[in-house]
Structure formats: C-alpha cells, structure tokens
Amino acid sequence: MRPAKAASRLLQTRALAIAGLPAWAEVIRGSLVRYYLTCGKKSCRCHRSRDNRHGPYWYVSVPAGKGRNKSYLVAHAQVADAKRGTAAYKKLWKELCRISDANLALLRAGAWRSNDPKRARK
C-alpha cells in the first residue's frame, strides 16, 4: 500500500475512534461485581445451602493502587446505570488504544501531525 493511502486510512481509523468515544460524564472506571453473602446468624437458611445466600448485592470495584481495590455498594435501582458506566469505560479504553495505535503508526510513517495548534512547537 502506498504511504499516502496508508496514512489516509490511519487518519480515518483515528477519526472513527474519536467519534466513537462515549460521553465523559457516563464513564465509571471499575468493574461491576455481584455477590451473594451469608449472614452472622447461625440458624439462618443461608448457612444450610449456597442457593439460600442473601443477595444479590452489587458493588463497583475500583483499583485503589498497590494491587488493592476499593468496592462501593450500588443500590438495586442504580445497577443499570452502573452497568452502562462501566461499559462506557471499557469502550473508552478500547477506543483510546485504537487512537494511540493509529497515532503511533502515523508517527512511524512520518505522517503524524498534532491537531492542536497550542501544542505545536515554535
């Protein structure tokens, strides 16, 4: 493939990835996790069978540095919103990787130009 055509295709790939970015206000970094728990009452049905555990309880688990996670309880009424938010983050990350890959290929081909005039060196 000719260099100009390859660069044009990479620019188009980058533009499509940028257009596919989710709205920033919808993004939740983390994973939505469902738990079923046993309580502290020894006579409760949850201790007799795994099928009788309490739940589901939904949490958003977020990386907190040094290999640790922080979990936040999500109200049942907000589970759908949390699913959309974590899915938006996964899509954002995927599209950012596509943009970066296209930019790297453009840079290697000598065809990469920053679109931000403020960042251009004088």
* Within a domain: 121: no
What's this model's pTM, rounded to 2 decimal places? 0.75
* Within a domain: 122: no
* Within a domain: 68: yes
Residue 24 sits in which domain range? 3-116
* Within a domain: 67: yes
**pLDDT tens, per residue, the chain with 122 residues:** 566 788 888 888 888 888 889 998 999 999 999 999 999 999 999 999 889 999 999 999 999 989 999 999 999 999 999 999 999 999 999 999 999 998 898 888 887 766 655 544 44
* Within a domain: 33: yes
* Within a domain: 73: yes
Total structural domains within the chain: 1
**What does the alpha-carbon distance between residue 67 and residue 13 come to, in Å, rounded to a whole number?**
34
